Amino acid sequence: MSKVIISLTTIHSRVDKIHHVIKSLLAQECEISFEVKLFISEKGYLLDKGIPNVPASLQELANNHPNLFSINYTENIGPYRKFIPILKDYFFDKDDFSYFVTVDDDTKYPVTWLQTLVENAQQQECVVAYRGRVLSCDSQSIHRYKKWTHSDESVLEPNIKTVGTGKDGIIYKPEYFHPDVIDVESALRVCNHADDLWLKFHTAVNGVKSVLLASSLQEAFEDIGEEDENTLYRKINKHGGNDKAVQSLVNYFIERYDLNMLDVFNLNVSNSSTWLGKKFINSYHAL
pLDDT at 228 over 70: no
What confidence score (pLDDT) does residue 227 get? 52
pLDDT of amino acid 241: 87
Whether 285 is in a domain gets the answer no
> Is the predicted pLDDT of residue 239 greater than 90, yes or no?
no
Kindly tell me if the per-residue pLDDT of 219 is higher than 80. Answer: no
DSSP 3-state assignment of 216? coil
Q: What is the arithmetic mean of pLDDT over 166-183?
A: 94
Q: Does residue 278 form part of some domain?
A: no
Average pLDDT over the chain reads 89
Q: Which residues contact 174 (CB under 8 A, 6 or more apart)?
A: 87, 90, 91, 97, 99, 100
Total structural domains within the chain: 1
What is the span of the domain harbouring residue 63? 3-265
Amino acid at 151: S
Q: What is the CATH number of the domain that holds 246?
A: 3.90.550.10
Using the predicted structure, report yes or no on whether residue 279 has a pLDDT greater than 80: no
Q: Residue 62: its pLDDT value, please?
A: 96
The model's confidence at residue 233, banded by pLDDT at 50, 70 and 90, is: very low
Cβ burial of 13 (10 Å; 0-12, 13-18, 19+) is middle
Distance in angstroms between the alpha carbons of the first and the last residue of the chain: 30
Are 208 and 176 in contact, with CB atoms under 8 Å apart?
yes
Confidence of residue 88 (pLDDT cuts 50, 70, 90): very high
Q: Is residue 220 part of a domain?
A: yes
Residue 284: what pLDDT?
43
pLDDT by residue (tens digit) across 126-173?
999 999 999 999 999 999 999 998 878 888 999 999 999 888 999 999
Structural domain includes residue 78: yes
Q: Is 50 exceeded by the pLDDT of residue 48?
A: yes
Would you say residue 273 lies in a domain? no
Residue 27's pLDDT is: 97
pLDDT at 74: 96
Inside any domain, residue 284:
no
Report whether pLDDT(283) > 90.
no
The reply to whether 274 falls in a domain is no
SS3 content of the chain, % helix, strand, coil (to 5): 35, 15, 45
Of 20, 28, 58, 32, residue with least CA distance to 173: 32
Specify the 3-state DSSP secondary structure of 197: helix
CB proximity list for 100: less than 8 A, separation 6 or greater: 4, 5, 6, 7, 83, 86, 87, 171, 172, 174
Judge whether residue 250 has pLDDT over 90. yes
Per-residue pLDDT averaged across 236-240, rounded? 57
Is residue 277 in some structural domain? no
73-82: average pLDDT: 96
Q: How confident is the model at residue 277 (pLDDT cuts 50, 70, 90)?
A: low
